[in-house]
Amino acid sequence: MPRGGNRGVKFGVVRFPGTCDEVDAYLAASRVGDAEILWHADADLKGVDAVIVPGGFSYGDHLRVGAVARFAPVMAEVETFAADGGLVLGICNGFQVLCEAGLLPGALLPNTSLKFTCRQVDLEVVNASTSWTNVTAVGDVLSIPAKHTTGRYYAPDATLDELEANGQVVLKYAPGHNFNGSVRDIAGVSNAAGNVVGLMPHPEHAVDPLTGSADGLKLFASAAAVPA
Amino acid sequence: MSRHRELGLTDYEYDLIVEKMGREPNEVELAVFSLMWSEHCGYKHSRPLLKTLPTEGPRLVMGPGENAGAVDVGNGLSCAFKVESHNHPSAVEPFQGAATGVGGILRDIFAIGARPIAILDSLRFGEVGESARSRYLLEHAVAGIGHYGNSIGIATVGGEIYFEGPYETNCLVNAMAVGLIETDELIKSAAAGVGNVVVLFGARTGRDGIGGASVLASAELDVDMEKRPTVQIGDPFEEKKLLECSLELLDRKLLVALQDLGAAGLTSSSAEMAAKGEVGLDLHVRRVPLREQDMEAFEIMISESQERMLCVVEPERVQEVLDVCAKWEVNATAIGEVTDTRRLRVFDGDELVGDLPVEALVDECPTYELEPAEPATPIYPVPPRLLDSEDPAEILLALLGSANLASRTPVFEQYDALVGSRTVRRPEQADAAVLLLPDPKHDDRLTALSPSKDDDGPKPAIAVSIDGNGRRVAADPYRGAVEAVLECSANLACVGAEPLGLTNCLNFGNPEKPHIAWQFSRAIAGLGDACRAFGIPVVGGNVSLYNEGSEGPIYPTPVVGLVGELPDARRSGRLAFQNAGDVIAIVSADSWAPSNAASELSKLRGEAVEGPLPAVDLGELKALHAAIRQAVRAGSLSSAHDVAEGGVAVALAESAIHSGLGATVGRLDDLFGEGPGAFIVTGPADAITAFGAAATVIGEVGGDALIIEGAISLPVADLERAFSGGLADLLH
């Protein structure tokens, strides 16, 4: 497992008012490369190689989860960056934002319990060739915490069939671990090119065995392993 | 009724105000006095007793009197912490009551410059199995705590919940917050510098929470009264911005003083800042940004709208302060100046509408001597008999499935316990939460208070726990309060942590009644003696009195929160068995004398709540806790768990349930008795020998059943089913 030091990859972590997990994402990314914070009001990605849209409650999520954040000046840059093949990871609220922005297919609905749930879950790697999973293998099981109220992945059946056919379903909840009611146990998806990935569980909280698991580090290491 | 009585002031107090003012107070002045001289702000029935608590300790950095206390946790860092009640608002409107309880205690932490890193809570409701109202209060209070803590991104890492009849009308919602700060960056709340500017920043001021401190917090709860307008409404998004904004203002060294607006709003925050700094303040209420434009001057002064802070700034730095606030989209307005008058003067436009002596408001609130008298007859009703069986296996299953002992997972799962990436022991993994400390003096401002990403070398950490058992205090106020400290310290010992400081929230009934005064004074004596014996300073806390309604008082419920340190989180203890073949031992004090008095079993059997509780030798227990702590720190034990509610049998069952491993144990003298001074530990045989005579080997880990010779033989799966279903089934 690569760790520490500068491997030449620079991660940018977006911070909106209400973002909660940006320092965790920053710390996780800086285990495999450099990291810096990107301010929501700046239309500037500061030349980073990969962008992380982290978890939290952007703008308070007062309207609909992620719905306001997609209009932030920094997100226009992220959209252009993604279209040019730049590496983008959306975690939890970040996943919701990327879906709202149309960078990822589908939508996130309230958990079937309608309650916030914080739980360590097992995820199965379905596609190990995206920019954010390339150091894993298909069938690997990652132990990563999830914590959200609105994380039930949804897309129409036709879209789901297409996503599965294209390998865009990247991560699934292992049997018995889908607590939020996501369709087809989907925990994370990618865009067609595989450079943009979003997932509800929090890999940035699983980078040290001392706090539960280091499996999440593999996502950051994957991005660091992508040739510039 | 005269106006001052409506506001909760006695005739005597009103006369005293007239004397100190040299004239009759006007409406604004009377409103301000009524709040500052309420029990909530003035501590008029509790101050003399609180002064008996020990507040000195070698690691103390900030003691009682500031927004939060703080202790030195090494490497130039301090840990700030405090617990506070939000009982009456939660009984009236549980979601907002609990949410704003969390918001308020978090502001106390960042008001001294510390970054909040953890929340714990201590909750009491009526019998949730029988009462739809209690289920409603529980579900909404838990949702409120989660809503606030999760949304602001601060981990809720621990807590406790008990269900007892006397909390039916008057639930308890106590929230504790913990923060970190570099010790030399601590900021105080004393206003200073005549001519400096007073800036109010944060949310706009509305009519929410008007009179909360006096009408709601300092009187008995009458549920028929329409008190909902006195409950504040919280917005964690506003507070998240306020938190980051405040910490950036402090980081840029732009502030002379900082204070949060809590109970009594602008009134108490400004008066306390002025009193501490021995200065005066002129405030201009028409400059305060309002939610409703027609608010009167007194309403602006006493509004308890949430998510607001007050700071003092040098005139030439005001623009920089406003710029930082603008960056975070936080309202900021200069509303006054520091003066040398030692008076709080309130201006409505050009008109002087209030002119108050600061010392009289803050320091000269009258205090009252309590008149304690032990009640001649029992105060509390006998609980209904729920269990007839004498079969130990049936008793164990009944205890594990009881609302008070069953798994808290359905509650804890609604809280984010992980944000911050420092949580080494989550709820139900150990008896206390363990949180990593940051690297000393990190250059990167963003990560200055973040856990180290260096995977090698020791990982210093803190452990936190919150405890209190009202039924035991009701049975024996002195020993019950002693037990609260012992329980908290035992929890810390089980993860390997040494206590550094204690905070408390003292929840009692109406202290003007002699039997409540007796409970209160005996409990404080117990807390003080236990803290002195263990060398733990009380760094601050909160008093919540008048917790009673028409059906009588709550159980007297002192809740204590402890912060301790451990040198290496890699060796944090766990409560689950780890390895088949490990030896199981009881490590106990000579004075350990478990009994059924006020135990969970006595409750299931419908026995009266009465003492005396077992006597304890505090010196011996201090040594016992140290022995457990040292063994955990040495890494020689596989698990450590203190014997608490439900006695030895429940402690063994919990260690089995959380591991899935069973155990075979020999004959035990006492299965379900309770009393401080015993631990269940497991490990290799030589690790147990190190305890000498204090340890008694009782069995071995292994198999898939819990077998206690001559008493119990139950598959762990059955124990797990009773335990996990106990509370979950009641809630659905």
- Specify the residue for token string 């006020």: B598
Q: Are B103 and B234 in contact (CB under 8 A)?
A: yes
Question: Looking at the predicted structure, is the pLDDT value of residue A114 above 70?
Answer: yes
Does B43 carry a binding-site annotation?
A: yes
The confidence score (pLDDT) of residue A61 equals 87
The dihedrals phi and psi of B540, each to the nearest 5 degrees, come to: 150, 175
Residues 6 or more apart in contact with residue B709 via CB below 8 angstroms: B664, B665, B666, B667
Distance in Å, alpha carbon of A134 to nearest chain B alpha carbon? 23
A208 and B414: CB-CB below 8 Å?
Answer: no
Torsion of CA B199, B201, B204, B207, to 10 degrees: -70
The number of beta carbons lying within 10 Å of the beta carbon of residue B32 is 25
The dihedrals phi and psi of B383, each to the nearest 5 degrees, come to: -70, 160
Q: Are B234 and B87 in contact (CB under 8 A)?
A: no
A-to-B residue pairs, Cβ atoms closer than 8 angstroms: 105
Q: Best residue in B115, B156, B233, B237 to probe A by mutation, most A CBs within 10 Å?
A: B237
Distance in Å, alpha carbon of A193 to nearest chain B alpha carbon? 31
The confidence score (pLDDT) of residue B720 equals 98
B154 is written with which tokens? 């601060």
Residues B440, B167: Cα–Cα separation, whole Å: 45
B421 and A211: CB-CB below 8 Å?
Answer: yes
Distance in Å, alpha carbon of B116 to nearest chain A alpha carbon? 12
Write the single-letter amino acid at B671. Answer: L
B659 is written with which tokens? 């591991």
Residues linked to residue B258 through DSSP beta bridges, in sequence order: B311
Whether A92 is catalytic: yes
Residue of B40, B45, B625, B658 marked active site: B40
The number of beta carbons lying within 10 Å of the beta carbon of residue A28 is 30
Residues B344, B355: Cα–Cα separation, whole Å: 6
**Domains present along chain B, CATH in parentheses:** 1-37+188-365 (3.90.650.10), 574-731 (3.90.650.10)
**DSSP per residue, B68-119:** SEEEEEETTEEEEEEEEE-HHHHHHSHHHHHHHHHHHHHHHHHTTTPEEEEE
Whether A99 is catalytic: no
**DSSP per residue, B385-437:** P------HHHHHHHHHTSTTTS--HHHHTTS---TTS-EEE-TTTSSSEEEEP
The dihedrals phi and psi of B126, each to the nearest 5 degrees, come to: -70, -175
pLDDT, one tens digit per residue, over B230-281 is: 677 889 999 999 999 999 999 999 999 999 998 889 999 999 999 999 999 9
Closest CA to B308 of B326, B332, B287: B332
B414 and A37: CB-CB below 8 Å?
Answer: no
Kind of pairing between the strands at B695-701 and B552-553: unpaired
The confidence score (pLDDT) of residue A8 equals 83
- Three-state DSSP class for A78? helix
Nearest CB among A17, A119, A212 relative to B328 is that of A17
A115 and B424: CB-CB below 8 Å?
Answer: no
Nearest CB among B235, B420, B459 relative to A210 is that of B459
Low-confidence ranges of chain B (pLDDT < 70): 1, 211-219, 221-230, 440-443, 732
The beta-strand segments (E) located in B454-602 are: 461-467, 498-507, 538-544, 548-549, 552-553, 557-566, 583-588
| Distance (Å) of CA B407 to CA A129, B470, B693, B706 | 41, 20, 33, 18
- Specify the residue for token string 């729920």: B386
The confidence score (pLDDT) of residue B339 equals 97
The confidence score (pLDDT) of residue B456 equals 80
Angle at CA of residue B155, ends A72 and B163, nearest 5°: 130
Is A15 within 8 Å of chain B by CB?
no
Question: Looking at the predicted structure, is the pLDDT value of residue A33 above 70?
Answer: yes
Residue of A40, A148, A202, A205 marked active site: A202
pTM to 2 decimal places: 0.95
> What ipTM does this complex have?
0.95
Residues linked to residue A39 through DSSP beta bridges, in sequence order: A15
Computed over its alpha carbons, how large is the radius of gyration of chain A? 16
A212 and B143: CB-CB below 8 Å?
Answer: no
Residues B200, B259: Cα–Cα separation, whole Å: 10
Residues B589, B430: Cα–Cα separation, whole Å: 22
Interface of A with B in 105-164 (CB under 8 A): 115-119, 145, 147
The confidence score (pLDDT) of residue A5 equals 42
B237 and A57: CB-CB below 8 Å?
Answer: yes
Is A202 within 8 Å of chain B by CB?
yes
Alpha carbon of residue B116 to chain centroid: 14
A30 and B453: CB-CB below 8 Å?
Answer: yes
Confidence category of residue A2, pLDDT binned at 50, 70, 90: very low
The confidence score (pLDDT) of residue B556 equals 98
What's the whole-number mean pLDDT along residues A25-33? 95
What's the whole-number mean pLDDT along residues A136-155? 98
Closest CA to A77 of A107, A105, A38: A38
Closest CA to A221 of A133, A129, A90: A133
